[in-house]
A and B are shown apart, each in its own frame.
Chain A
Amino acid sequence: MIAEAGHYALVLAFGLALIQSVVPIVGARRGDIALMEMARSTALAQLLFVGASFCLLTALHVTSDFSVVNVFENSHSAKPLLYKITGVWGNHEGSMLLWVSILALFGAMVAAFGTNLPVSLRANVLAVQAWVAGAFYLFILLTSNPFARIAQPPIEGRDLNPILQDIGLAVHPPMLYLGYVGFSISFSFAVAALLEGRIDAAWARWVRPWTLVAWVFLTLGIAMGSYWAYYELGWGGWWFWDPVENASLMPWLAGTALLHSALVMEKRNALKVWTILLSILTFSLSLLGTFLVRSGVLTSVHAFATDPARGVFILLILCIFIGGSLALYALRAPSLKQGGLFAPISREGALVLNNLFLTTACATVFVGTLYPLGLEVLTSEKISVGAPFFNLTFGPLFVPLLIAVPFGPLLPWKRGDLLAASQRLTAAGIAALVAIALLFAWQRGGPMLAPLAIGLAVWVIAGVLSDIAERTGLFRIPFSVSLRRARGLPRSAWGTAFAHAGLGVALIGVVCETTWNSEYIATMKPDQVARVAGYELKLEGLTQRQGPNYRETLAQFAVSLDGKSLPVMTPSKRSFTTRGMSTTEAALLTRGASQLYVSLGDASADGGIAVRIYHKPLVLLIWWGPVLMAFGGVLSLSDRRLRVGAPKPARAARALQAAE
């Protein structure tokens, strides 16, 4: 019964989406308020039904109802409760259901909080949301039904892939989807604006917070996924330029560009047409990511061809939405009125430069990810495009971007003075040069690029600090006055500062980890001592333990630094009987931002065990950076001028803008 109810709720949601995709648009054409307002009720009802469907699938997983295929294939009665719940989206069908649930959530949020939107705009936005939702409900119902039953239910399930039995699965996919799907709002707003043929600063005022919400989640989702891979996979890698990662990086790059161009549009009423295009592209890239991951096309072009139902369906969705929205764009964009002028050296100019580099970086990832697929389809020649390609092409694009970052916030709108901005960044420049010189002196004859890259990171961070110091008059006026000014700065200014500083922090982490990482790989026997980067690790012994649905081998390492003993590290290797697979659980010892990383390999016949020990200097900065960025995003979101649904405080906003 539960499964059937869940299935039926999904069918009802699809029906509601169909109504919502037509009626409000008709209402907007005819100026019929009642028809337009219907979108709000259907959007809220959709959330209710999809939410119910999702909860029912969760109930099936929690109660281990193996008469449902999805539960049988991905669950086990002995699995801990947390993984029974997270296992709901640890598979294709369930993750698609999570996808549409989040879509319904965003739609309902527009319906609930969009009370001060023009009625026709809200109606059109919700209709476009319903198109997307309807397509994906149909996809689930036709090709990926999570509620399908088995005629003769088995007694035990096949268990969830052990690698996914981790807290990471509880956080990473929902975060990532909140980001991916969140961009659907900016897409719907863009398409609605094109349908109405009207776009103004109020539109940007609305789109920016939604984009920011999606961006914050996507940033955290990607960072979380990277940290998960780092600790779970046992060799300490954190970014692999894998097509699946690229699929999430592309919307992030486009979304970051969108965030910046929407700023120009809101403040200066310029770059309208471009902002609309970026909104469409960002969500298109989210859809592309969904296609790449869900269709199986990445595993092999041939796997895609042999079982094409799902792949072809998503490809169809992709073509209709991307093609349709771009066609609408081509038709309507020329009629949108262009905004104000600005000189190349200005805040707007800096933001355009940002967009140029971010979109080029996005295009680079795009071509690198899809080129091998395209080439194989066209010429059946197989090539690989991996990390070395991306490091060589993507990396250099970020150098000019990072050099430009501190200038942006220092330049005034409309017309700026590069010389004046440079003078204010003198201290930052000196800090960067000092950092470079010190690093060269310290490492003597090491890699050339690392000190320069760290210098660049210091430049970005010091630039942010100079900007804040400039705004608060630090060192020029009494400290207490500066403090009061700092409190008075708009939150969005602090948001910018944190997000930009996060960029520099992450860069320091990346450079330190890749350049000064030390590693020790050997077969160790009990009582042997390994020495890595000044740390001494003594293997005390190996023990066996029985977990809920696995057996594990634990190794105890006594760790000491300069004779001072540190906490014991116990990496383990788990073997899961149901699937006959094993996972490594690395042990991590955090010292400041650096980590000692120990993971186990195979045991040898003579009682030894393969061990890999890494010392990763400042590695945590790689993830602190994105966390800072996301925090900046949240700060900016809490700025009253931007708060989701906040009424437009015309006079106050103007006064604050002038203060900026």
Chain B
Amino acid sequence: MKRWSIILALAATVAIGSLAHAVQPDEIMEDPVKESRARELSKELRCMVCQNQSIDDSDAPLARDLRLLVRERIAAGDSDSQVIEFLVARYGEFVLLKPRFNPHTMLLWLLPPLALMGGGIALWVYSDRRRRAVVSERESLMKLSPDEEARLEKLLGAEPVPQPEEPHP
């Protein structure tokens, strides 16, 4: 919430609680490996009462509860995906900062690669068409129109236009 108001100096009236820090000293697990797992997981989970903040960043009481819950599950021996499953079962997909791929989020995930490919193909087709258009325009400029050919023939005194000689083998 805090970060929000600071970034564009907007909602100056947003209620901001006491400014505690994200991870508190008393939350840290003794095993550094487990703690670092908890931290990595926390970065993927949303503090549901905040503006797009992960529970790792947020100082809201709910975020603290969730951080403790994550550590509880890790201490109980859950794997990372089990912890995530547990939280999604409890709080819904909303808790995930990286939405899972499903029919509802398909467009979200596919748009960037599709936009790149679509843009690339459009560019290729367009520049190809442009080049052809310009080339054919040039060719049509080089060729004589029927009118011009008729005039040329007249100028040359009605003689048949000499055919280019066959190259000798």
Q: A residues engaging B (CB < 8 A)?
A: 73-74, 89-92, 95, 160-161, 163-164, 168-169, 172-173, 176, 225, 228-229, 232-235, 237, 240-245, 247-248, 293-294, 296, 298-299, 338, 341, 344, 352, 356-357, 359-360, 363-364, 367-368, 371, 375, 379, 381-389, 392-394, 397, 521-523, 573, 581-584, 599, 601-602, 610, 612
Contact = CB atoms under 8 A, between A and B. Distances in A.
Number of chain B interface residues as a range = 35 or more
A523 B20 CA distance: 13
Nearest to B58: A235
A173 B16 contact: no
Given A367-B112, A385-B99, A356 B123 contact: yes
B12 A90 contact: yes
A389 B107 contact: no
Interface in B23-52: 23-26, 28, 43-44, 46, 51-52
B131 A341 contact: yes
B142 interface: no
A344 B127 contact: yes
Give the 4 A-B CB pairs with smallest separation, nearest first.
A386-B97, A388-B98, A364-B112, A601-B21
B10 A363 contact: no
Interface string B112-138: 100110011001000100110010000
A471 B123 CA distance: 31
A91 B13 CA distance: 9
B161 interface: no
A241 B6 contact: no
Contacts of B131: 341
A237 B9 contact: no
Contacts of A235: 21-22, 57
Given A244-B4, A352-B123, A582 B19 contact: yes
A244 B19 contact: no
A248 B10 CA distance: 13
6 contacts: A233-B6, A235-B21, A383-B99, A383-B104, A521-B25, A523-B26
Given A163-B6, A371-B108, A386-B98, A363 B18 contact: no
A582 B57 contact: no
Given A338-B130, A341-B134, A360-B119, A371 B13 contact: no
Contacts of B162: none
Nearest to A349: B127
Interface in B57-79: 57
A294 B19 contact: no
Contacts of A240: 3, 52-53, 57
A584 B2 CA distance: 11
Contact of A169 (B9, B22, B123, B130): B9
B155 interface: no
Q: Which of B12, B43, B44 has most chain A Cβ within 10 Å?
A: B12
A582 B21 contact: no
A89 B9 contact: yes
Contacts of A164: 5-6, 9, 12
B150 interface: no
B14 interface: yes
A611 B162 CA distance: 98
A232 B6 contact: yes
Interface of B: 2-14, 16-26, 28, 43-44, 46, 51-54, 57, 92-99, 104-105, 107-109, 111-112, 115-116, 119-120, 123, 127, 130-131, 134
Given A389-B99, A521-B28, A383 B19 contact: no
Given A359-B119, A367-B112, A389-B97, A95 B9 contact: yes
Given A237-B57, A522-B25, A387 B9 contact: no
A176 B53 CA distance: 23
Contacts of A601: 20-21, 24-25
Contacts of B2: 163, 233
A602 B7 CA distance: 24
Nearest to A222: B7
B52 A610 contact: no
A294 B131 CA distance: 46
A368 B95 contact: no
Contact of A581 (B11, B16, B105, B134): B16
Given A356-B116, A360-B116, A521-B21, 17 more contacts: A92-B10, A95-B10, A161-B16, A164-B12, A233-B2, A235-B21, A242-B52, A244-B7, A294-B10, A359-B119, A360-B112, A360-B119, A363-B111, A379-B104, A387-B54, A389-B98, A521-B28
A374 B169 CA distance: 74
Nearest to A366: B111
A247 B10 CA distance: 13
B123 A364 contact: no
